[in-house]
Structure 1
Amino acid sequence: MTQLKTFSLMTRSVRISGEVMNIFANMPHLVDVHLSQISALDRLPESHKFPQSLRSFKLSACAIKEDPMPVLEKLECLVVLRLDGYKGQTMSCSAQGFPRLQNSKLLGFSNTAEWKIKAGAMPKLSHLRFFRFPKMKKLPKGLLHLPSLNHVELIDTPLSSVGDDNTLKKLRQKGCEVTTYSLGPSLTLLS
């Protein structure tokens, strides 16, 4: 499968380890990886074990135990990132991380309260979606350093007091469209 460009795997309640994901190291032409319905993933393999041509990575797991950002941010061609199920309390992106990322959707981060973003990270990110971050009390200040960010969506992410979040206010002042939604019995637009 050394010429494979797209890899998609959907499993039911299967726990996989980062070592199992090392199969990607032998698929240098992969540009799109989609893994879904994984029951648990302790950690991702090291970034050099991913195909360096990877442009889209989508991972949905019931529990991702270790912060995936330090691994994924080193994939220099990554443009689209969708992560579902990280269970850690904090995550971080270093300066120079995610140099080409444009679109990111982060879902079901049920324990994550803080996201540290260093200046210089994600310089091309234009669209960011948070979905179900119940413990996040305020937006990361590092979002203010993202020059291309023009749209942020907060869905079922009840920031402690949305109107008082300085980062949110400053993003809007910079011209970034910020929308918040609450999903309950029916979809409600909050702002």
Structure 2
Amino acid sequence: MAIQEKSPNSNHQYVGRGSFIGKNMVCSERGFPLLQSLLLSNLYYLEEWRVEQGAMPSLFCLEIEFCDSLKMILDGLRFITTL
């Protein structure tokens, strides 16, 4: 995610099976500055997703599907006022 979130041209992002393998995912402050839609799908091992304040300021569409181990999305989503 650290490399992808710095991409200045990324408007839509799909994070699916095989593209992220881990228990914890972080979207850093100022990460994904132009991202408008995000789909998290088939991330079977993901347990916690942390969104830091200032991440994804343009996000207006978020879909999470088949992330059965996801236990927690920390309150960072409250900072995304466009969602």
**TM-score normalised by L of structure 1:** 0.41
1:114 to 43, 48, 66: 48
Within the candidate set 11, 16, 41, 1:84 is matched to 16
Aligned counterpart, 2:79: 145
Q: Which amino acid in the other structure matches residue 131 of structure 1?
A: E
Matches of 2:6 and 2:47, distance apart in 1: 23
Alignment root-mean-square deviation, CA: 1.0
Distance in 2 between the 1:119 and 1:125 partners? 13
C-alpha separation between the residues in 2 aligned to 1:74 and 1:96?
Answer: 8
Counterpart Cα distance in 2 of 1:140 and 1:87: 19
Structure 2 unaligned blocks of 5 or more: none
CA distance in 2, matches of 1:119, 1:126: 16
Letter in 1 for 2:59: L
Query: 1-side partners of 2:72 and 2:65: how far apart?
Result: 14
* Residues 41-86 of structure 1, C-alpha deviations (whole Å, 9 max, x = no match): xxxxxxxxxxxxxxxxxxxxxxxxxxxx111100012100012112
Verify the 8 A CA contact 2:49 2:72 in the aligned structure 1. no
Give 4+ residue runs of structure 1 displaced > 6 Å after superposition.
none
Q: Which structure would you say has the larger RCO, counting Cα contacts within 8 Å and 6 or more residues apart?
A: 2
Bigger radius of gyration, 1 or 2? 1
User: Equivalences for 1:117-136 in 2 at 5 Å?
Assistant: 117-136=51-70
User: Are residues 1:74 and 2:6 paired?
Assistant: yes
Structure 1 gap segments, 5+ residues each: 1-68, 150-191
Cα distance in 2 for partners of 1:126, 1:100 equals 11
TM-score calculated relative to the size of structure 2: 0.91
1:114-156 C-alpha deviation (Å, 9 max, x unpaired)? 011110000000000011111112333111111111xxxxxxx
> Which one has the bigger helix percentage?
1
Map residues 17-32 of structure 1 onto 2, 5 A cutoff.
Answer: none
- Whichever structure has more strand as a proportion of its residues is 1
**1:119 aligned partner, one-letter code:** Q
Q: Distance in 2 between matches of 1:107 and 1:140?
A: 18
